[in-house]
Structure 1
Amino acid sequence: MPVVLSLNIASRTTPADYTRTGVTGIDKRPVDGALEVSPPGPKGSSGSGVAGDAIGDWSAHGGDHQAVYGYAREDLDWWQTELGVDLHNGQFGENLTTQGIDQTNALVGERWRIGTAVLEVTAPRIPCRTFAEFLAQRGWVKRFTQVNRPGAYFRVLEAGRIAPGDEITVLHRPDHDVTVELFFRALTTEADLLPRLLEAGDSVPPEVIELVHKRNAVQLDS
């Protein structure tokens, strides 16, 4: 049975001279008990959907379509072997470290019940300088991009409480083939895939839908 191995938050931001805002909330650590998850509001005007979780740059992180970030322990273990370092739960900045469920091949719009909350898969995580500097890995953005194990962002469809050890139940799988992995390739290395993201409807973050429409308009004008 798929489960949440740990629920991770940054209880406060930490100084970081490599970020635009001078602080970061990427250093997330496991908590012992349950926390409330809820829709935080539009991106740029709100932070994390997990109670008590600090975010350093609201323009790039948080908001309804990035309310919760998940990463699979199986993928952390793979990276641990590749990098030759120990990786604790939460070290990739994820709120949910999961076991027994494939986030890479999850469908955008897939709905999971965890604890008393219902989450919906919305997008992959795109690596950035903050991620690279925090891990102290040279060439990390390129390496992470090449591997296609991005983890998944979620929006909160039903607010509730999530705790370590909660089972994960897939309630719904949409009728399309837009996976987190395909979405990731569309935004990073294969822009020709971008139009396919529209098949996932409003599960896709608004800024990505806007990007697809702009690209389509440019192609029509050229």
Structure 2
Amino acid sequence: MSSSKAIELNNFSIGLPKKMMYGNGKEINTGISKQTIEEAFLTKNGFQGDGVGDLKNHGGLDRAVCIYPYEHYFLWEKELGNPLPPPTFGENLTVTNMLEKDVCVGDIFQLGESIIQVTQGRIPCSTITKRTNHPSLLKRMVQTGFTGYLCRVLEEGIVRKDSKTILLESHPNKVSILYGNEIYFHKQKDIEGIKRLLAVEELADEWKEPLVNRLNKLTAL
């Protein structure tokens, strides 16, 4: 991560899955609707009092913490024409100065008393469009690579809304989340790019498996 500016925690949120109404009277069980809190204990599985509705596509040790850059809110509000208060994207941490272009897979951060490690870009899901009622938003997040990202917990501890987030260790491979998103979503036949991503041992298994499969198909031709 190259930015030397201090990281700011703009919003800290958790929430357990609950029913959310969307569209024409439909409902879904989701953990996207989180509430801003003062403090929570971060375990290897995520924050106590936090949860996901769809265990297949969310959660797990490699996806214990969800982070979204605050700067993108201004872009989306401008594009969509209405305010989007954090945590619209269901993130735990809304942060300034931790953009996808600057944060790399494997980077390690101190977060309050805990230590976290970046594992993968977030794969946005349709719940975001259901929540915001903007069908184009999901597509735009993927197009721009402004997806946010996920982390595993290396050391458990208490996190408070005024906790400092400090970069402890930059990963030597320097594979940014934005680069990873580009390979994962857009350059799906870029053999060198896939190899570069897979060379980062700390990459989440949920990304490793499809990328290995993709690489095998491409190199078997």
TM-score (norm 1): 0.88
| 1:38 partner amino acid | T
Aligned pairs (5 A) from 1:180-199? 180-191=177-188, 192=190, 193-199=193-199
CA drift of 1:212 comes to: 2.0
| Residue equivalent to 2:156 | 159
For residues 149 and 206 of structure 2, the distance between their equivalents in structure 1, rounded to whole angstroms, comes to: 17
| 1:147 partner amino acid | T
| Residue equivalent to 1:134 | 131
| Residue equivalent to 2:3 | none
Alignment CA distance shift 1:4-1:200 (3 Å): same
Give the SS at the match of 2:47: coil
Identity %: 27
| Residue equivalent to 1:46 | none
Contact 2:194 2:211 in 1 (8 A): yes
Residues 1:30 and 2:30 are matched in the alignment: no
Give the SS at the match of 1:79: helix
Give the SS at the match of 2:198: helix
Alignment CA distance shift 1:30-1:104 (3 Å): farther
Give the SS at the match of 2:103: coil
| Residue equivalent to 1:219 | 218
Contact 1:17 1:23 in 2 (8 A): no
| Residue equivalent to 2:65 | 68
| RMSD, aligned CA | 1.8
Aligned pairs (5 A) from 1:39-188? 39-40=44-45, 49-188=46-185
Deviations 1:28-54 (A, max 9, x none): 1211x21011112xxxxxxxx011012
Deviations 1:143-170 (A, max 9, x none): 1111221111111011011111211110
| 1:197 partner amino acid | L
| Residue equivalent to 1:200 | 200
Where does structure 2 lack aligned partners over 5 or more consecutive residues? 1-5
For residues 28 and 148 of structure 2, the distance between their equivalents in structure 1, rounded to whole angstroms, comes to: 25
| 2:47 partner amino acid | V
Greater share of residues in strand:
2
Contact 1:125 1:152 in 2 (8 A): yes
For residues 81 and 58 of structure 1, the distance between their equivalents in structure 2, rounded to whole angstroms, comes to: 32
For residues 124 and 216 of structure 2, the distance between their equivalents in structure 1, rounded to whole angstroms, comes to: 27
For residues 93 and 150 of structure 1, the distance between their equivalents in structure 2, rounded to whole angstroms, comes to: 11
Count of paired positions: 210
For residues 214 and 135 of structure 2, the distance between their equivalents in structure 1, rounded to whole angstroms, comes to: 31
Give the SS at the match of 2:142: helix
| 2:42 partner amino acid | V
Could you tell which deviates more after superposition, 87-96 or 126-135? Answer: 126-135
For residues 172 and 88 of structure 1, the distance between their equivalents in structure 2, rounded to whole angstroms, comes to: 31
**Structure 1 residue ranges, 4+ long, deviating more than 3 angstroms after superposition:** 15-18
Where does structure 1 lack aligned partners over 5 or more consecutive residues? 41-48
